């Protein structure tokens, strides 16, 4: 029983690490990328 709970928590920890890494990669791409396909790009430049 204890081994099953430990494996379940280990699985959740691995999934949390994967999702955290994906989130940081997408934030890095959003920060470094020039988004030419943004809908309101022209309005922001005119302000």
**What Cα–Cα distance (Å) separates residue 10 from each residue in 21, 40, 46?**
17, 43, 50
Examine residue 4 and state whether it is found in any structural domain, yes or no: yes
Task: Decide if 21 is inside a domain.
Answer: yes
pLDDT tens string 1-47: 889 999 999 999 999 999 999 999 988 888 766 655 556 655 555 55
Cα separation of the two ends of the chain: 62
Query: Can you tell me the distance from the alpha carbon of 1 to that of 21, in angstroms, rounded to the nearest whole number?
Result: 30
Quote the tokens at residue 15. Answer: 């999934």
pLDDT for 43 equals 57
The range of the structural domain enclosing residue 1 comes to 1-32
Residue 12 lies in a domain: yes
Say how many domains are in the chain. 1
Distance CA 44, CA 35 (A): 12
| Residues 12-26: b if buried by 16+ CB within 10 A, e if exposed | eeeeeeeeeeeeeee
């Amino acid at each position: 029983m204890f081994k099953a709970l430990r494996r379940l928590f280990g699985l959740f920890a691995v999934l949390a690490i994967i999702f955290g890494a994906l989130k940081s990669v997408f934030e890095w791409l959003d920060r470094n990328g020039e988004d030419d396909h943004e809908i309101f790009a022209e309005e922001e430049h005119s302000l």
